[in-house]
Amino acid sequence: MSESTPVKRPGPAATHPLDPLLAPRSVAFVGASQRPNSPGNDTVRQALAGGFSGALYPINPRYSDVEGLSCFPSIDDLPETVDHAVLCVASEKIEAALAQVIRHGARAATIFASCYLESDREPILSKRIAAMAREAGVAICGANCMGFVNKEIGLRIAAYPCHPEAEVGPITWIAQSGSVYGALAFNDPRMKFNLCVSSGGEFVTRSNDYFEWALQRESTGVVGLFIESIRDPEGFEAALSEAARREIPVVVLKAGRTPAAAAMARTHTGALAGDDAAYRALFERYGVLRVDTLDELAAALLLFSHPARPAAGGLASIHDSGGECELLIDLAADTGVPLARINDETKQTLRKHLDPGLEPVNPLDAWGVGHNAVNIFENCLEALMADPDSAAAVVVSDIRDGHYHHRNLAQVAKTAAESATMPVAFVTNYSGVDHREIARELTEFGVPVLDGTREALQAFRHMFDYRDFLNRPKSTPPPPPPAEVTKRWRERLGEPSPLDEVESLSLLADYGIPVAQAVRAASEDEALQAAAEIGYPVVLKTAEPGIEHKSEVGGVVLDLEDSEALKAAYGDLERRLGAHVSVSRRVPEGVEIALGAIRDPQFGSYVMVAAGGVLIELLADSAVSLAPIDENGAERLLGNLKARRLLDGLRGKPAADVASLCRAIAHLSVLADDLGDALEQLDVNPLIASPDGCVAVDALVIARRET
């Protein structure tokens, strides 16, 4: 070794595979620059601004220094082997730069460039980069990303500013979109992060890898995710499971929910589910809180970033406006937020403090003549929070900086939060109010400020949903049937011929799902004999191979009261569709429910419950869950349906036997789990739920075929 060759100091080994990426001891900036407003300059400036205590090494043969740091001609000239290399070079230079980084011995890299070349070769650059990194065991943030910020160690690998003044907090924020990442990471000082990651193209390191790393940090209290697709389903589900075990709420904004593949689905289940149902099922299993907008995501993260959690009960709110009380009542109904039902004792206490003419109710308008307002609000809020049905409390007003009344209301919220064991928040009805200073002060005190009535209520709905998730009893699905039953049906599903309706119903029956008695027939005489065995009235359906949705071709005839009616119906079906039919018993009237099972290539089998019959497509009202589930899980699914009230009886109709329906759903989920890899899709539509139980009257089973 020559005297000019630097001695490399490798240092201690990392304890986690992502430590060299997210918590390195040293960072090199390949392509560092003195030119302002360039990635090579901005990344160095951001790293310096964050207060990172490790070594920072600009690399560029054109400079002797960058932003006051000594600049090295090449990564090979560094005095130590760095953990992390930031590649601030264009796409056409990435491959050579990464090769040099790998030879140097760095264990991680960040790539901002897109890594797409106009005239590329196969395999394309992105695949070559990924293969190089995987072979070398190098973690990569990106490509086509905006980097990350590890607030715990003051490390910013980013070309864009975040809030240096914001202290370390409990929010982990991981986004596959750079713009979405920046919307939260760069704009609101109320958001207290421990880690923000723009994962970009995820050539090597996936969203779930960052997620799993964050779960190991004591500072992580809530995880926010923006995802477009999951590249490692098994790892993602494992991270969700670990978050649930640690009771760390996960809030997800999932893009791409439209059912683009639904047109190709062969069952109602597949059509109604679309592309998004597997994510819905996965999130239901692990208590993931799904949001629709960035505003809703931010409100939920702000609320969950404070440690208090709600007990049983609903939301208590105090206002300085009667009209805004009414607004909150309306929106609480829309968003499904329970309001605390205060008792008479609480009402009596409120009366003692309220000005004349104000009603002691929840939500409470406590603004009268304005005299002694602080004491009135403090005493009334204290009374509301003391009510046994209050699980969380909010002060609602459109606070503005520099106004004494709003400063007083902020103090009311602080006083309440000082001794509270429940969540206490401040809510504005209009998100555009000028309250930056007072909102920041309240947030730092421990009172999150949630902007927008609907967004705030959605955040509380998510908090109550997560409370209910944590209180779920342990799931105990029914046992599967004997092994020989499973073996027999697996063999049958492996045969090339499809299952007809009678076989499909027999499959359901073997898994404990009540079915209507059905018999095949291939002639009028056989149909008459079957009807005599079953007993009139009967239902006649076509059983011709290839007809999957019988009602759509006029292949179902109901309420055949005698043999003459049966003969006429059979003759019509034979003439139009063919001789093969099924004869089944007519079941009692009841509520039509649709059940389904489908196999997702990423997350496995899940079950669906929906309004049945013609309502399945009219209402598009469904709930899904990964299989298997127990009867409690089935009841939760039913509770998510708009059609749930039909089961309780409407307009004088008797209530259905919901317990038997829940058992049927649970048994179907066992079927889906037991035979899932042999099934593509399964429909039960309708299943009739009545006061006497439930019965599946039609089923369609499509076996999985290797392609």
Q: Is the pLDDT at 399 greater than 70, yes or no?
A: yes
- pTM of the entire structure? 0.90
Mean pLDDT of all residues in the chain?
A: 91
pLDDT band of 619, cuts 50, 70, 90 = low
511-530: average pLDDT: 93
Is 60 exceeded by the pLDDT of residue 97? yes
Query: Is residue 384 a contact partner of residue 346, using CB atoms and an 8 Å limit?
Result: yes
Q: What is the pLDDT of residue 217?
A: 96
Q: Is the pLDDT of residue 19 over 90?
A: yes
Strand stretches in 459-563, DSSP E:
518-521, 538-542, 556-560
How far is the C-alpha of 698 from the C-alpha of 255, rounded, in Å? 35
Q: What CA–CA distance (Å, rounded) separates 484 from 501?
A: 22
Find the range with the poorest average confidence among 165-174, 190-199, 353-362, 557-566.
165-174
- Three-state SS across 261-325? CHHHCCCHHHHHHCCCHHHHHHHHHHCCEEECCHHHHHHHHHHHCCCCCCCCCEEEEEECCHHHH
- Tell me the pLDDT band of 431, cut-offs 50, 70 and 90: confident
pLDDT reading at 6 higher than 60: no
Looking from the CA of 203 toward its CB, the CA atoms found within 13 Å total 30
Say whether pLDDT at 268 is over 70. no
Interval 615-623 mean pLDDT? 71
Q: What is the mean pLDDT of residues 409-424?
A: 95
pLDDT in tens, 597-616: 999 989 999 999 998 866 66
pLDDT category at 617 given cuts 50, 70, 90 is low
Among the ranges given (175-189, 352-366, 397-411, 602-616), the one the predictor scored with the smallest mean pLDDT = 602-616
Comparison of pLDDT for 29 and 434, the residue scoring more: 29
Q: From 528, 491, 518, select the one nearest 583 (Cα to Cα).
A: 518
Percent of the chain having pLDDT more than 70? Answer: 93
What average pLDDT does this structure show over 177-188?
90
**Would you tell me how many other CB atoms lie within 10 Å of the CB of residue 189?**
16
Which of the residue ranges 273-282, 423-432, 546-555 would you say has the lowest mean pLDDT? Answer: 273-282
The predicted structure's pLDDT at residue 178: 92
Domains and CATH numbers, the chain: 1-144 (3.40.50.720), 162-305 (3.40.50.261), 307-470 (3.40.50.261), 517-586 (3.30.1490.20), 592-703 (3.30.470.20)
Q: Which of 72, 63, 70, 75 is nearest to 38 (CA)?
A: 63
Least confident of 4-18, 42-56, 340-354: 4-18
Q: Choose between 652 and 475: higher pLDDT.
A: 475
* The pLDDT of residue 227 is above 90: yes
- Say which residue, 546 or 87, is predicted with more confidence: 87
Q: What would the mean pLDDT of 271-291 be, rounded to a whole number?
A: 83
Strand, helix or coil for residue 30: strand
